[in-house]
Each structure stands twice: as structure tokens, then as C-alpha cells.
Amino acid sequence: MVSFLTQTLVGQRPSVTTGGNSHGVWQWWEEGVLTFTPHKAVDQALLLSTGIHGNETAPVELLMPWVDNLLSGKTGVAWRLMVVLGNPAALREQRRYVHTDINRLFGGRWRQHPDSTERERVQILEQMVHRFWHAGAESRRWHLDMHTAIRDSFHPRFGVLPFRADTYDTEFLRWLGSAGLEALVFHQQPAGTFSHFTSERFNASSCTLELGKARPFGDNDLTAFTETHHALEALLAGAPIPDVATEPQRYRVTQQMIRQSPDFILHMAEDTWNFTPFMKGTCLAEDGVRQNCVEKEEEYVLFPNPNVALGLRAGLMLEKI
């Protein structure tokens, strides 16, 4: 059997789009979209996605061998499962995106953008996810969207959780800690990310996992993700979630820096790490007469990037909870 990743990277439609083994039934729904339904009835459904950005390869290399073992029957799963390779066109080129950042287009925001590879892809993914969640009536829905960060981070492994009015599933937060995440960042307003889409539209417990730094295929040290790998395998097998010796540091977003014009300036060095602290009063960015300054006693920067398209965020500022 050709591996799911190889098949996706070469743009090859499988000659057989459904099959089964002793553990369950798999279906190929679309390029880079695979589902698996166990023979045994389960009351939980899990969406695993990666490759939303085509240059973030470590989670792809981490997840795909397990998927191939699942398809071959070497392993089983305790969830109804959907696996998504988010942006195959960008993965083939190992670029963050081809035309537009797909992780800003979810929740119908693609309608505000011209035709592109990503605009077409996000429409397909929204349809596929809708089909997946409505194919079952599980009481527990989780979504893990696995990424790597552009920059180095003082917390090399961290999670970004979308804004939601309800509290998060405590088991979900415990699992994130068991997966070796050193920090959890809680958004305070809606966004166009894949994880926000699944949380808002389908009430899933969703998280964007940032696992190290973006590197090309073959250049990733997967031993750095051993803890995450073991936690993911245990989760998929239905093992109990262990207690965590050290809870992840929690942050909330205090402000967003938006690049609104070509005059935007980010007052940070190009090599500024994620979670670098800035003291109250520090001017962080300016866009003509508009300035972003530190308002709390201390705030921490996340995802600083002055080169985003107009109208997109050039960084987040956080405070510790």
C-alpha cells in the first residue's frame, strides 16, 4: 500500500477509496482527507490535522507513520477519526502557503478573498469537516491541529486555544499538558483559524499545537517530540490520561498588532523569540499615527511577523494568567 503522505504529495488518487481491516473501516474522502471508523462502537470523535502550512513538516513526519500502521491494520484506534493534510499544494513546495495563508480563511472568511489554491482548499475542508462531525453523534469531539512556529520560542512546545464562551474540557487541557506542552495561550476573540472553526461551529475542544520550529522534510529531530508522540499514541489507543507533574504556563491574549498599511513598522529585532517579555509603555509597533504599546506591567510577544498581508495580524501580545 502506498503511504498516505506519499500519495498526497504526488497528487495521486487511490484506485481504491475504501477498505478495512480487523480494527475498522477507512475511507479516502478527498486529497489529503482520510477517515477511520472502528468496528467497536465509540462515543468520541477526533480530528487530527497537520500540513495547514506547507513548510511545517515535523508534525507531518510524526503522524504519518502511525496513519500507515492504522491503514495496514497494525494498530487500532479508540476514536472515530479524521486525518487531514491541510494544504497539499503548499506541502509539495514546502512553502507556508501558495497564495494566501489558509489559516486565516476559515469560518467563511474565504469569501472575502480572490480565487486561489487556498480559497478553494478551505471550502473543501469546511465541507469535509461538516460531513465528518455530522456522520456521528459522539458526546466528545476533539480537534488537534499540529503546527510548528516560524521563530524560536522560550516555550518550544505550546498550544493556542481558540476563544469560546464555554469552559474547556478539563480532560482536554490535561492531555495537552501530558503531551509536553509548556504553555497554553487562550484567545479572547474569534479568528479565522482551523481550530477556531471547529470549536465555534461544532463545539469541539480544539487546539493549535506548535511543536518546535519550521524545518524542511528530513531536517526535523523527531526525538524532540517524543513526549508528544507517546501522548498521542496513548490517546488514540484510549489509554487514561496521566497526571502532569508540571502544569503548562497559561497566557491570555491582551492585544493584536494588525498591519493596516504599507507604513507598518514592528519595533522588534528580526530574531525576536516567541514569549519575549516587554515592559509597560514599550512601543511595539506603529502604523502611521496608530501605535501598539505595552499596556500591562509586562506582556509577551507571540508570532511577531511584520511581513503579513495588509489587514492581518503581525503579532499577538500576551499576559500570564
- Please indicate, yes or no, whether residues 113 and 259 belong to a single structural domain of this protein: no
Per-residue pLDDT at 242: 86
Closest CA to 181 of 204, 153, 203: 153
- Please indicate, yes or no, whether residues 306 and 169 belong to a single structural domain of this protein: no
CATH code assigned at 187: 3.40.630.10
- Please indicate, yes or no, whether residues 73 and 205 belong to a single structural domain of this protein: yes
Pick the catalytic residue from 210, 227, 270, 319: 210
**Listed residues 186, 203, 237: the one ending a domain:** 237
Residue type, 145: D
Q: What total of structural domains would you count in the chain?
A: 2
CA 188 – CA 74 distance, rounded (Å): 42
Task: Dump pLDDT digits (tens) for 143-160.
Answer: 999 999 888 999 999 999
Per-residue pLDDT at 75: 94
pLDDT confidence band for 1 (50 / 70 / 90): low
CATH code assigned at 283: 2.40.50.630
Identify whether 297 is a catalytic site residue.
no
Residue 128 included in any domain: yes
Task: Dump pLDDT digits (tens) for 170-211.
Answer: 999 999 999 999 999 999 999 999 999 999 999 999 999 999
Residue 246 included in any domain: no
253: its cell numbers: 491574549
pLDDT confidence band for 310 (50 / 70 / 90): confident
Q: Bridge partners of 44?
A: 140
pLDDT at 289 exceeding the cut of 80: no
54: its cell numbers: 506547507
| CB of 59 closer than 8 Å to CB of 209 | yes
Residue 243 included in any domain: no
Residue 242 included in any domain: no
Residue 145 belongs to what domain range? 4-237
Residue 302 included in any domain: yes
pLDDT at 215 exceeding the cut of 60: yes
| CB of 81 closer than 8 Å to CB of 35 | yes
Task: Dump pLDDT digits (tens) for 42-53.
Answer: 999 999 999 999
- Please indicate, yes or no, whether residues 52 and 138 belong to a single structural domain of this protein: yes
Cα–chain center distance at 3 = 22
Question: Which residue carries 502506498 as its cell?
Answer: 2
Closest CA to 69 of 31, 30, 8, 22: 22
3-state helix, strand, coil in the chain (%, to 5): 25, 30, 45
Residue 217 included in any domain: yes
CA 223 – CA 299 distance, rounded (Å): 31
Residue 205 included in any domain: yes
- Please indicate, yes or no, whether residues 214 and 267 belong to a single structural domain of this protein: no
CA 80 – CA 82 distance, rounded (Å): 7
Per-residue pLDDT at 105: 96
